[in-house]
Structure 1
Amino acid sequence: MLLADNSPLSEFVEANPDGVIVMLTAEWCGRPCDSLVPILERLESEHPHLTFVIADYEAQGDFMAEHDITAVPTVMAFVDGELRGATMFARNEAMIRLELSEVLNA
């Protein structure tokens, strides 16, 4: 899983049209954010055509505002640069798998 630098996430999303799963997190988030990382790592190994990235929300203010993100963790799915789905707050693995499946099959 990639760790985004401070470059704009919108550019990263546009540069990866096959699909990007973005997790927005914060240093202070702790357990809710940390619990998602292993789940996303497993999904990443199962979906090699997708790019998974973790980004610090504090470095992505414009992206947060553009997508009306108000909480972390937030996981967002983009295909062809278009937002296909987003979920805020920690979820269990079954819910994340279901949500991802719905987004990718839409």
Structure 2
Amino acid sequence: MKYEYSDNLEELVTYGFDEIDSSEQVEVNLKDLMYVFSTLQEYQRFFHQPSHYQSIDDIENFLGSVKDQKAYRLLHNSIHKKMQLMLPTHISDKYDEGSFDSPKLPFYFKMQK
């Protein structure tokens, strides 16, 4: 099977969003939203400065694992314990159906071969 790859991550991330009513809103827990916001800020704080990640060890130390109190755990919790619960059922169903899965793969999948 031949795959198509893209370095346009914004296009990949927003694939299928045209199916979402732009006027639809959700009410969320502010503390959970702040957890996600602060997690994204921490990723930005680390990655905005190349001197923070001069080696793969620097990145591995920042990320840790889901068992460590480091960045990967924050991201995992943001997605699976915070944001996932904020999504309306019909949007969660669309995720399960693959409606938001771009037919293109991110460029870094190609690099693994």
TM-score where L is the length of structure 2: 0.24
Decide which structure has the larger Cα Rg and report it. 2
More helix by share: 2
More strand by share: 1
